Amino acid sequence: MLNSLGCEETRKLRNPNGWRGVCVDGMGTPGEGLGRCSHALIRGVPESLASGEGAGAGLPALDLAKAQREHGVLGGKLRQRLGLQLLELPPEESLPLGPLLGDTAVIQGDTALITRPWSPARRPEVDGVRKALQDLGLRIVEIGDENATLDGTDVLFTGREFFVGLSKWTNHRGAEIVADTFRDFAVSTVPVSGPSHLRGLCGMGGPRTVVAGSSDAAQKAVRAMAVLTDHPYASLTLPDDAAADCLFLRPGLPGVPPFLLHRGGGDLPNSQEALQKLSDVTLVPVSCSELEKAGAGLSSLCLVLSTRPHS
């Protein structure tokens, strides 16, 4: 059942009744399962990422040592600051964009949907990720339809529902497979204009707060989400679109508030004051300004998941 809103690309694919299937905390509050995590998965930066030709047409060359330092700091923050069990896949020279493994899977609960990236050159990236997630005991769902394309960073989970960005990288059939896989959640599609994925324009600053950049593309996406959702979200607009590509994480440490992993002030200083308005989160800044030259956003550089039962 499709709910068209005057735009072919903006529609609700699935709208289950009530809160069925929504992760809740011990008090049963909808959306409180957002960000539950015990593990993080990353992949090392190969030397082949250093040249624009190796990374893909049209991408600038980058400083390999700086990119590797940024990646190392990210892994250190996930492991030491957030207390997650960190699993690092080795770099593969044949996969220059392999560090962007957030594009390779959509994970919710004990289910991992292995994606089918738009670029055929990137499709081998899913193999190592699939095995790692299988080893962690997740239920693996594959995309068998060759007409589908899906990048994981076009999928935003709010704790209550999914929004799938229809972009250069993700098509309507890919979004339908997200809806078929996560059948207990509402799934809606949102058009994404320009060169970004959906999560390059907006993210979750908390279970009830959407953060978004100030560009026309970001604000258009947020307006579409507001029309499609059945749930009230607060919104926070940031000067920089890339600052909205953040990760709200709840490792479940006793007495410790949730964390917001975000681009630090050295990368995006204009957005730092706005992020301070988010309450009840501990801000954890990281940098990925060099990796950004290869198309990386913060959420594309890691996959987070929980192997613990949700309370």
Residues labelled catalytic = 197, 302
* Structural contact between residues 180 and 206, judged by C-beta atoms closer than 8 angstroms: no
* Structural contact between residues 217 and 143, judged by C-beta atoms closer than 8 angstroms: no
In total, the chain counts a number of residues equal to: 311
Distance between CA atoms of residues 100 and 125, nearest Å:
9
* Structural contact between residues 249 and 258, judged by C-beta atoms closer than 8 angstroms: yes
Distance between CA atoms of residues 165 and 156, nearest Å:
8
Distance between CA atoms of residues 187 and 161, nearest Å:
6
* Structural contact between residues 199 and 174, judged by C-beta atoms closer than 8 angstroms: no
Distance between CA atoms of residues 120 and 28, nearest Å:
42
Beta-carbon contacts of residue 27 (< 8 Å; ≥ 6 apart): none
DSSP run (H or E) holding 247:
strand 247-249
What is the strand order of the sheet 202-206 is part of? 202-206, 209-213, 234-238
CB atoms within 10 A of CB 276: 9
Report the chain's C-alpha Rg in angstroms. Answer: 18
CA distances from 286 to 74, 75, 110 (A): 6, 10, 28
* Structural contact between residues 167 and 190, judged by C-beta atoms closer than 8 angstroms: no
